[in-house]
Amino acid sequence: MYRLRVKYGKYGVGKYLSHLETIKAIERALRRAEIPFILTSGFSPHLKISFGFPLPVGYLSESEFFDLFLSSPIELKTFLNETEKSFPAGLKVLQAKYVYLKGKSLMSIPCYALYLVKGEVNPPFSLEVLEEKRKKFLSLRKISYFYRGKKKEVNVIEDILSFSVKARGEKIEFQLLLPLGGKRNIRPEILIDSFRDLFFKKTCFKIKEIWRKQVCYKSNDKLEDLLDFRGDERFKGDPHLN
């Protein structure tokens, strides 16, 4: 058995797919591509595949993941070519690597997500004002917000790894590095709404696009792309796993 970690993106119409719809679309595409996947046992067998952290509907992404279990190895170039033909509009395989068969599942790896949020602001304001308010925002100890009718809190020091903002005229961009999954997971638009409500109450922020640009993990205090996480064991003897 082989375990192939696949990085894919969601573009255009792909942002309207729910997590479940994305899973079904990818499974159908892999069947059409005639990849040597493994089926589960039982009354209703399906692909032996596991997905990473769900992407909210409406987000675009260049960094989504799934692990596909294969009965025999396939050359990575062949895999990319075949999926290019079979994947539907809005979904695209970007990269793939073999990983340790018994390594951690995607959902169990402590991860972080880099988001890019593009929007419009009215009235526009200077970079100096933005920077001043950004520093004040990050100096707060905690931020309270309501999500689905429940009051929640963000620990600024622990939960916001980076928060930058820049603007040009009416165009504004936020870049945020945030924990992914678990109790510390928070959507970037919630932080942006909090930023606006605290410091720009008369200003209209209109979010146009939210991108998940990268999903990464910490290795020796450095952030590495999740595609490079192979587990705790070194590969030996098999060229497909090196």
What phi and psi, each to the nearest 5 degrees, are found at residue 77? -65, -40
Which amino acid, 168? R
Q: In the predicted model, what is the mean pLDDT of residues 136-157?
A: 87
Under 8 Å CB-to-CB from 1, ≥6 apart: which residues?
A: 38, 69, 70, 71, 101
- Number of Cβ within a 10 Å radius of residue 74: 21
Q: Which class is domain 2-108? A: alpha beta
How far the first Cα of the chain sits from its last, in Å, is 15
Distance separating alpha carbons of residues 100 and 237, to the nearest angstrom: 13
Closest alpha carbon to 173 in 106, 114, 116: 116
Task: Quickly tell me which residue has 């922020």 as its tokens.
Answer: 205
Check whether 226 has a pLDDT greater than 70: yes
Confidence at residue 148, expressed as pLDDT on a 0 to 100 scale: 80
- Number of Cβ within a 10 Å radius of residue 147: 10
- Residue 63 · residue 7 · CB < 8 Å: yes
- From the number of C-beta atoms within 10 Å of its C-beta (0-12, 13-18, 19+), residue 97 rates as middle
Write out pLDDT tens, residues 106-115: 999 989 999 9
Residue 34: both structure tokens together: 């005639």
Task: Quickly tell me which residue has 């979904």 as its tokens.
Answer: 91
Residue 232: both structure tokens together: 């705790």
Same topology between domain 2-108 and domain 111-222: yes
Confidence at residue 231, expressed as pLDDT on a 0 to 100 scale: 62
Write out pLDDT tens, residues 173-215: 999 999 998 778 889 999 999 999 888 877 788 999 999 999 9
Q: Which class is domain 111-222? A: alpha beta
Write out pLDDT tens, residues 88-139: 999 999 999 999 888 888 999 989 999 999 999 888 888 899 999 999 999 9
Domain ranges for the chain, please list them.
2-108, 111-222
